[in-house]
């Protein structure tokens, strides 16, 4: 019995290994599907790639582009927002995010007669998302070290002109260090963000009670306040707070 069980387990594992698809193969599959216009198949391949842990900015950009073309705007916004949190300088992600929001607004305008393209987030959020932490922290450390080195060099320098120049350089690098640290402080102080993935969701004020003030917009940015099991308490930019199912939100993580 034990030997038979081991054989079955070996067969299952071998079968699983044989079916595993490499990331390159998944990307090729997605590329072919996209070229032939089969968006659902392309999206499925890219989602599988992302779920396998290959979730770099380039993969997220491609997935977001496919979502946008398939009119799954909430998920597209979520992908592009994640790319921009890591690479704020990504022009193609900025462009596609903007285009997605306009498409979404036009769709909403066609349905209801009104639409919102984008709501300006709070200033603290804007500042906090100027730089990703993986860039801001090393930059702040380097600026501090540079300021210290310049300060020590100034103490050892002889000429008046050299001392003045080094003092100015020290002040400049110190300013850069303080500025970057300000961005870091802002980023750490803002609550975790998320994007609403579906349209027409309503906040629950408490168990079983819905918010009568209107539905959330697909692609809308919210702050995550707390979690309770599968539910998440969120707050919109406009200040409305309530509970949503976690599966309806796309988290914006580092």
- For residues 29 to 68, the per-residue mask of contacts with other proteins, x marking binding by CB under 8 A and - elsewhere, is --x--xxxx----x------x---xxxxxxx-xx--xx-x
Rounded to the nearest whole angstrom, what is the least distance from the CB of residue 59 to other proteins in the complex? Answer: 5
DSSP letter string over 21-69?
--HHHHHHHHHHHHHTT-HHHHHHHHHHHHHTT---HHHHHHHHHHHHH
Q: Is residue 145 at the binding interface for other proteins, with CB under 8 A as the rule?
A: yes
- Give Cα 218 to chain centroid, integer Å: 16
Minimum distance between the CB of residue 148 and other proteins, rounded to whole angstroms? 6
In the complex, what is the shortest distance from the CB of residue 95 to other proteins, in angstroms, rounded to a whole number?
6
DSSP codes joined into one string, 66-101 = HHHHTT-HHHHHHHHHHHHHH-TT-HHHHHHHHHHH
Which has the closest alpha carbon to 45: 70, 24, 18? Answer: 24
Q: Which of 9, 24, 126, 245 binds other proteins (CB under 8 A)?
A: 24
CB within 8 Å of 246: residues ≥ 6 apart: 227, 230, 231, 232
Q: Which is nearer to other proteins, 36 or 175 (CB)?
A: 36
Positions that interact with other proteins (CB under 8 A): 23-24, 27, 31, 34-37, 42, 49, 53-59, 61-62, 65-66, 68-69, 86, 92, 95-96, 98-100, 102-103, 106, 133-134, 137-138, 140-141, 144-145, 148, 181, 184, 188, 253-254
């Amino acid at each position: 019995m034990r030997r038979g069980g081991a054989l079955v387990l070996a067969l299952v594992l071998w079968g699983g290994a044989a079916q595993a698809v490499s990331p390159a193969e998944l990307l090729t599959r997605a590329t072919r599907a996209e070229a032939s216009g089969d968006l659902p198949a392309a999206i499925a391949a890219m989602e599988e790639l992302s779920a396998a842990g290959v979730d770099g900015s380039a993969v997220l950009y491609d997935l977001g582009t496919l979502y946008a073309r398939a009119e799954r705007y909430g998920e597209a916004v979520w992908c592009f927002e994640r790319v921009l949190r890591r690479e704020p300088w990504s022009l193609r992600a900025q462009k596609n995010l903007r285009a997605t929001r306009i498409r979404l607004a036009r769709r909403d305008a066609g349905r209801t007669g009104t639409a919102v393209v984008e709501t300006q987030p709070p200033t603290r959020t804007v500042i906090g998302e100027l730089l990703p932490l993986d860039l801001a922290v090393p930059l702040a450390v380097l600026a501090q070290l540079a300021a210290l080195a310049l300060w020590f060099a100034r103490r050892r320098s002889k000429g008046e002109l050299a001392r003045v120049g080094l003092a100015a350089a020290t002040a400049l690098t110190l300013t850069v260090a303080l500025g970057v640290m300000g961005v870091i402080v802002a980023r750490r102080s803002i609550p975790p963000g998320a994007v609403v993935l579906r349209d027409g969701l309503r906040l629950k004020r408490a168990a079983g009670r819905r918010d009568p003030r209107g539905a959330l917009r697909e692609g809308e940015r919210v702050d995550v306040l707390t979690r309770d099991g599968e539910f998440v308490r969120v707050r919109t930019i406009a200040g409305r707070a309530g509970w949503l199912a976690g599966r309806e939100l796309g988290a914006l993580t580092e």
